[in-house]
Chain A
Amino acid sequence: EAQVTQNPRYLITVTGKKLTVTCSQNMNHEYMSWYRQDPGLGLRQIYYSMNVEVTDKGDVPEGYKVSRKEKRNFPLILESPSPNQTSLYFCASSFFRGAVFGYTFGSGTRLTVV
């Protein structure tokens, strides 16, 4: 089944403790992206990647890192999480950047930083 898989689904952590949220897609998509969803703000892009070893900042990149060493994986790294990073996170992928093909989303990771 074609899908984007995120792990974990739920995570509670403490301020400052480094964490990684994994994202993997099995559709051979070149484009991958991370979003955060907050009430009243919709989906805001954190980082995106056009291809292996090519990453770029989205609208809200502060406090996050990403890497794209393989085509299928695009982990999101929070080096020192803070409470304002409590949010619902989505990974998405597509053949290309932009709306033409639409994006396939993972099921989400709900992160709470205390």
Chain B
Amino acid sequence: GQQLNQSPQSMFIQEGEDVSMNCTSSSIFNTWLWYKQDPGEGPVLLIALYKAGELTSNGRLTAQFGITRKDSFLNISASIPSDVGIYFCAGDGNNNDMRFGAGTRLTVKP
């Protein structure tokens, strides 16, 4: 099946810093999604991307669907303590088989 590589595995940053994480796929995806999981909760959808090259923002979050359709990145600007959590990329290709990355664990120090 399709493999997703998400990096970095974890990040420790100072409040106010910008954050960048990315996902790469072994094959072409038609849709990329980014989820956030707060401690003790299930993942919640942050951003959905449907076209190669698409750049979408949601507040301080910006995500892009790579031109090759094999990668996506998520940026968080001016991080705050409530950004703490695990961020997952997800996507699917032609068989509607959605895959998740292993997650990026973000810690924000006040």
Contacts and interface: CB of A to CB of B under 8 A. Distances in A.
Given A98-B31, A99-B90, A105 B44 contact: yes
B41 A107 contact: yes
A106 B42 contact: yes
Dominant secondary structure at the A interface: loop
Interface in B41-62: 41-45, 48, 50
B75 to A, nearest CB: 20
Contacts of A42: 4, 6, 88, 100-103
B32 to A, nearest CB: 8
Interface string B9-39: 1000000000000000000001111000000
Interface string A15-36: 0000000000000000000010
A108 B50 CA distance: 28
A103 interface: yes
B92 interface: yes
A105 B90 CA distance: 14
B96 A97 contact: yes
B98 interface: yes
B110 interface: no
B83 to A, nearest CB: 19
A91 to B, nearest CB: 8
22 contacts: A35-B100, A40-B9, A40-B102, A42-B4, A42-B88, A42-B100, A42-B101, A43-B43, A43-B88, A59-B1, A90-B42, A98-B96, A98-B98, A99-B33, A99-B90, A99-B98, A102-B48, A103-B45, A105-B43, A105-B44, A107-B41, A107-B42
Interface of A: 4, 35, 40-44, 59, 90, 92, 96-100, 102-108
Q: State the 8 A-B residue pairs at the shortest beta-carbon distance, nearest first.
A: A105-B42, A98-B96, A99-B31, A42-B102, A43-B100, A102-B45, A99-B92, A99-B98
